[in-house]
Amino acid sequence: MNLLNKLFTKSKIDCPRCLGKGKVDLEDIKRLKKELIWLPGKCAYCNGLGKVSSDMPTKVSVDNSYLTIDITQEERNKLINNDPDAIERANHFDAEIDDYIKQVKYLHFVAKLEANMIADFYLIPKANHEILPNEKEDLLNYIEKIINSEKEN
Residues of the chain with pLDDT under 50: 1
- Side chain identity, residue 17: R
Closest alpha carbon to 45 in 10, 74, 20, 9: 20
Residue length of the chain:
153
Give the pLDDT score at 124: 87
Distance from chain centroid for Cα 77: 17
Give the pLDDT score at 146: 97
Closest alpha carbon to 44 in 9, 16, 84, 13: 16
Give the pLDDT score at 150: 85
Give the pLDDT score at 133: 74
pTM of the model: 0.83
How confident is the model over 101-113, as pLDDT tens digits?
Answer: 999 999 999 999 9
d(CA 23, CA 117): 34
